[in-house]
Amino acid sequence: MAFDQEIDDVVGGTLATELDEHVRYIVQVMCRRGEESCHPPAISMDVDAHLIFGSWRVQHTARPGLGFVIDGLAGATPAPADYVNEILLAPAHREDFLALVDRVGLVVCKHVGGDDALHRDVRGRSSRGRLSQGEYFHHDGCTGPIPPRVVEIRCPYQEVERHTFTAIAPFPEVVDAMLLELPARLHTPEIAAAHAEVLADEPLSSDWDVVQGWINRAIRRALPAEEQRAYLRGVDARVGAYREPWEMGESRFIANANAGHTMQHRRAYVDAHEGKRPNGRLVKRWPAEANLVECDEACEL
């Protein structure tokens, strides 16, 4: 594609080995609809400094697609177990780390120890016959006046493993995927018009959130619970959502609200909901905000 050389010009040298594949994926997603923002994100060689926090260098796992995965920090001495709070979110490095999340959309931190007392338990009351609100793609803070910039979801160390996944996908591309995955028999006139615009590679004439609401209402009214879940799994696959099993001591930092590109997330069942199966808990916080606010029902997982 035409932007390939531009990406190569912008993300060269050391940075190319660190972020090139992830940046290329994000740009391809952004350019899929021919948006005005179809250009490489504001990345320069200075971004390499964001991979060094004081005397600590990020150790990461290269992977295709969405998600920049941090395995830990390397330095002259072992990093603290709670390297997220003590280093990445320390006052000296906090803004650099949050800017990295803004830029790449999703940063996954593995092997995080320490205290999660500043987090809140994530609620979610799904059942075999009914989806919770958190099973539909959403941004956090969706009912408040100002959504949080970044959402951190953590799987703490606990006795029971977490078997329910969390799907994370780029917005508004996830709405495209929802339109293309939706069966034609569920198209209302408004949805059909939006679907035609996507097929024609034209900008939507209606707001992305509004179109997403139309689709969610259509599937809730017409499809039984397990068919809704199967449809959403198809959306995950079409948009290339990050949907990896949770590991204990893992934190996922999601770009939720910024001037560039954001992500939506949802509670995801990879198989049919069997009900009453023990499930490890998740905790959540909004690390860019001064005051932690519990999610309302519309923002549960």
Considering Cα of 167, then 262, then 183, then 221, what sign does the dihedral take? positive
Per-residue pLDDT tens digits for 174-224: 999 999 999 999 999 999 999 999 999 999 999 999 999 999 999 999 999
Entry pTM: 0.82
Give the per-residue pLDDT at 217: 97
Give the per-residue pLDDT at 136: 97
**pLDDT surpasses 70 at 82:** yes
**pLDDT surpasses 90 at 264:** yes
| C-alpha–C-alpha distance, residues 86 and 78, integer Å | 13
Give the per-residue pLDDT at 300: 53
Mean pLDDT of the chain: 82
Q: In this structure, are residues 3 and 27 in contact, taking their beta carbons and an 8 Å threshold?
A: yes
Sheet of 106-109: strands edge to edge?
52-53, 56-61, 68-74, 106-109, 250-255, 150-155, 283-285, 120-121
What average pLDDT does range 157-167 have in this prediction?
Answer: 95
Give Cα 86 to chain centroid, integer Å.
Answer: 23
Give the per-residue pLDDT at 261: 86
**pLDDT surpasses 80 at 125:** no
| C-alpha–C-alpha distance, residues 155 and 112, integer Å | 9
| C-alpha–C-alpha distance, residues 55 and 74, integer Å | 8
More confident position, 144 or 228: 228
Range in 51-55, 100-104, 241-245 with the lowest mean pLDDT: 51-55
User: How many beta carbons lie within 10 A of that of residue 57, not counting itself?
Assistant: 13
| Six-digit token string for 237 | 């696959």
